[in-house]
Structure 1
Amino acid sequence: MKKKLATLIIVFVSQTVMSQNYQTEFQEYFQANDTINQLKILEKWQSKNPKDAELYTSFFNYYIKKSRQEVLTFTNEEPNGDGFVLKDSLNQTAGFLGNQIYYNQRELKKGFDKIDKGIELYPNRLDMRFGKIYALGEITDWTNFTKEIIKTIEFSAKNNNLWTWTNHEKYDGGEKEFLLSIQSYQIQLYNTGNDDLLKNMRAIANKVLEYYPNHIESLSNISITYLLTGEYDKGIESLLKAVKINPKDFIVLSNIAYAYKLKGNKEKAIEYYEKTYEYGDEQAKQYAKQQLAQLKK
């Protein structure tokens, strides 16, 4: 029995060392953008240890990077990033020459298939889930971006945020850091400036509140999605829930005041700006003071 146990330990250690070697080699070729040797390492790695978690993340990185294509295009609109202005014979702007990014759908699918398999085998690997979400954001697939975030939130309740990271290292962030990451994804949606994505923000925030009912940031996010569309009462309703959780949260208090101001309820706006002044930091106090001076004219 002891002999068998010792053999198993030796085999396990050998496989771990082998995987780390493949991982290191892959990273070197990945940094060098050497796709030929990347694939050679991945195929060799797969033949030796086909269920290695790091193999799935490496395959994912390989296919996602390979799918990214950059082409030079002529457009009538100024491109994002570097570009050249083209002038006509009268020195008028005729167009722009710049780089455009697109993604090869076949290679993308291969990458997502790999990371999906990795998540299936290792559901507690948060780096896999966040990596997939990041890639979906890069290709602006906001529907699946949102779905993947929601699935991750749902699983966080199953594993009590006992996540692991690269090489199965323990993720020490716990619930707090996890929710901060989810908040950053909602900000990413907001920063697109696309009002159609407000419903995506709301869906994520509602899912967070389903499992973390005292998450003030999500209540605030919901309020923003309503305030931006002129649904002031719904926005205020969400903020009032947040202030019940923490009556001294001056950011929430300031947002309530602003919402009432938008609605045209001067009395309530003054009430909440006064509370903002009472509990706020120096910057919040100065802002509340300015707003109160305007409202009391």
Structure 2
Amino acid sequence: MRSEPALWAPQPQTETSAVDGGSATVDLSALRRPSGGYAMLAVDQREAMRAMFAEHQTEPVSDEQVTAFKLVATRTLTPYASAVLVDRQFAFDRVVAERAVAPGCALIAAADRFHPAHGELVGEVGIDPEVVPERVRDQGAVAMKLLVLWRPDTDPAPRVDMVHRFVARCREAGLVSIIEPVSRKPLDGRAWDWDEGVLAAAVELGSLGADLYKAEVPLRGQGDPDEIRRRCAQISESVTGPWVVLSSGVPQDRFPDAVRLACAAGASGFLAGRAVWASCIGADDVPASLRTHAVDRLRHLGDVVDEAMTRRRA
């Protein structure tokens, strides 16, 4: 029999992040489990989520279908998550209005606007002007997240400037700032290495003042465990402050081990969606699949994080 979720009270823990050469004490406790680790759920996927549904049906995927999934996933899974990340386009206002987030789970607002370009669903990203920090704070958010596309052939100045502006917006509103750099192909057709982009993004963007850094798992969580740990250790050396991993690109069955390896090398948990709920899309009974398979996966991932944090303190 599945035990009832424990609804925890955040522990008083703080982090110090460098901001434009200075420092500020930032309280990250609302995003954490009692162990000090992060077990955070993402449901902010947009056209990528629509594409997942399209793989299982012939009729067009409506906005309401995507929104409905986000709502039921949020209601079902947030009792087992320390925080949940939600997007404005499909779900944020509905999640707030319907009180879909469980007590003890913090709310994160996605502050990025995605644009299709270069043959990619998300080819360009900017700060969404419709996500007003003070408004989402008043709606209950404690943090905002910004996706950043790192390409080896593009000028770093615009993305560095975007991160600085985003961090400042969060700071002014009293919100935690989370950045999510992802490695993308060059636009000029040159040869490239995805993994090298993951590490280069951490060097470039990991000390710009964001309170929490969200990274792709080196080697997509596959291959030699020692090499995955070594590359995660490089991210730890590059990032000022705590960091977590995302699950995109990592096979679902490999993600728990990927989290374990990353935490052994300095990460503090995860902020992930696909590894938790992606297989529920297309199920005969989606709510039931979320209540069983997705809940089990999320609870197991939380245990992995707790064990890693216990080992770190030992």
When normalised by structure 1's length, the TM-score is 0.26
User: Greater CA radius of gyration, 1 or 2?
Assistant: 1
Greater per-residue helix proportion: 1
Task: Identify, as 1 or 2, the structure richer in strand.
Answer: 2
